Amino acid sequence: MEAFKDKQDSNKWSNREGLKGWLNPTRYGWERLSYWLMRLTGLFLLLYFVGHVYETSNLVGGLDAWNAMLELTQTTYGHIFLILVIGTSTFHSINGIRLIFAETARGLGKPGRPDYPYEAGSLNNIQRSGIWVALILAAAAMLYGSSVLFGGE
């Protein structure tokens, strides 16, 4: 665009939302919230997974190394972290299954002839209910995890 003095200027006025576009889930409904949560939980689980692979490698060091690792992780904060892992993995899995269906146009309805108020057929409660089920199951899994980790067996 001739309106811009240089590349830096054109980047400044490119008006892209950038990361703010990813991070704000509040404006556009349940599907946008699901997108935001999938990204957050995915990153969180990847970090946990890498840590878990490292953590379990302490087996190689023998009993002492393993017990030293347990002392670090089998704490209150460790258990809270694990409960978060349980919740995020449950949500990510169930919502992921919902997305596999939705992204192949299952449960989104069929094209038709739009009429006022021009509401989108794909943003329906059939596919949306997958998000709700994922959230509910994640909460239930976290409760169960809490009962095991803090309740003692």
Binding residues for other proteins, rule: CB under 8 A, are 1, 3-5, 9-10, 13-22, 27-32, 34-35, 38-39, 42-43, 45-46, 49-50, 53-54, 56-57, 59-60, 63, 66-67, 70, 74, 89, 93, 96-97, 99-100, 102-105, 108-109, 111-115, 118-123, 148-149, 152-153
Do residues 38 and 99 touch, judged by C-beta distance below 8 A? yes
Nearest to 33 by CA among 83, 97, 95, 90: 95
d(CA 98, CA 40): 17
Please, which residue, 76 or 104, has the CB nearer to other proteins?
Answer: 104
Nearest to 135 by CA among 80, 98, 82, 81: 98
Please, which residue, 49 or 132, has the CB nearer to other proteins?
Answer: 49
Least Å from the CB of residue 111 to other proteins: 5
